[in-house]
Amino acid sequence: MNFRNYLQSTALEIENQINSYKSNWQLEIEQISPKLVDLIDVFTTAWEGGKRLRGSLVKLGYEMSGGQPNTSINEVAVAYEIFQTSILAHDDIIDLSPTRRGKPTVYRQLGGDHYGISQTICLGDIGFFLANKLIVDSNFDSDLKVKALHYFSRMVINTGLGEMLDIELPHLKQERSEDDVIIINRLKTADYTISYPLMIGAILGGASDEKLAKITQFGTDLGIAFQIQDDILGIFGDEHTLGKSVTSDIEEGKNTLLITEAYKNANNEQKQILDKYYGNGEVSSEHLEQIKQVFIDTGALEYSKNMASQYVESAKKLIPELTESEDHRQLLSEMSEFLVNRDK
């Protein structure tokens, strides 16, 4: 089975598990207060869609570490997907994002005002602990669950710190640094997208600490490459395919390799374009095209693509140390290429 097929089949398993959990939880909410049902419905509807990449990696980490067949691993995968929806609900408020997965973001569906933002924050907070509870209730040895929860908690903290740093750097208005970009990419993306899903699954599958350390390095390199590609798509991608805005990164002044490298090589005229439009609120399609051209002409786009490729190659060199299974090695190799050659 290739990685795309693995992802599709595992995503279907996770989807079925999510739907079952959603139905049961909605019944619980209705018993608590019918007034909350519509709010919960908006949140659980946001669980739908997406590639289910992170949940699938939980299962892959479990399987490649020798975990025995146990349907409870799908419950842990669902926990990760609910966390993903929750953190994105908060992130969309921070970024003032209008759409997510081709639909209005949660806070926009709830009105986009103080009420909508308040309820979305509450829903996101609840989602974090639903995820925790799913892991606690899963059918694994207690010691393994405690260890998995320890790593899960560390991941949540790292993701929050990465988000804070991502907000803080534009606020400080200091010279943009590639080192800062890489730190954010590791904390905000690599940890929670690649490293920790694989590690949490691997822990429940009985992986050693030595193996977990290797997974961490693999996930860090691949996750940084994933985020570099995400930043490229965030400006050069197709809005319809992505299901989200291709101007929001520019409007918020997001720190990426594209912008740090562009400033490093830009002439005065190019710097004026960046100073005028990058990080200064709403941009038109014309301004977007001007910024894209600066990224191309300064070599920032090519540089970012090359850096992503280098991180992928570094990650792939570690694959033989992650698992003895040739099938799983093949999946990891194909996954590495898939994550940096995707169009959404």
Q: Is 23 exposed, middle or buried (0-12, 13-18, 19+ CB in 10 A)?
A: exposed
In the predicted structure, residue 174 carries a pLDDT above the cut 80: no
In the predicted structure, residue 242 carries a pLDDT above the cut 90: no
Report DSSP letters for 181-203, one per residue: HHHHIIIIIIIIIIIHHHHHHHH
In the predicted structure, residue 252 carries a pLDDT above the cut 90: no
Q: In the predicted model, what is the mean pLDDT of the chain?
A: 94
pLDDT tens digits, one per residue of 147-162: 999 999 999 999 999 9
Specify the pLDDT at position 170.
76
For residue 18, the one-letter residue type is: I
pLDDT tens digits, one per residue of 17-45: 999 999 999 999 999 999 999 999 999 99
State the Cα torsion 180-181-183-184 to the nearest 10°: 120
Specify the pLDDT at position 173.
73
Mean pLDDT of 277-282: 90
State the Cα torsion 249-253-254-257 to the nearest 10°: 100
In whole angstroms, what is the distance from residue 119 CA to residue 99 CA?
17
In whole angstroms, what is the distance from residue 194 CA to residue 187 CA?
11
Take residue 43 and report the two structure tokens written for it: 């949140």
- Cβ within 8 Å of residue 337, ≥6 positions away: 312
In the predicted structure, residue 138 carries a pLDDT above the cut 80: yes
pLDDT tens digits, one per residue of 56-104: 999 999 999 999 999 999 999 999 999 999 999 999 999 888 888 888 9
- Widest CA span of the chain, in angstroms? 64
In whole angstroms, what is the distance from residue 26 CA to residue 228 CA?
38
pLDDT tens digits, one per residue of 195-240: 999 999 999 999 999 999 999 999 999 999 999 999 999 999 988 8
Q: Phi and psi at residue 238, in whole multiples of 5°?
A: -95, 125
- Beta strand ranges found along the chain (DSSP E): 99-100, 103-104
Of the pLDDT bands very low, low, confident and very high (cuts 50, 70, 90), residue 178 is very high
**Nearest to 15, CA basis, from 103, 74, 87:** 74
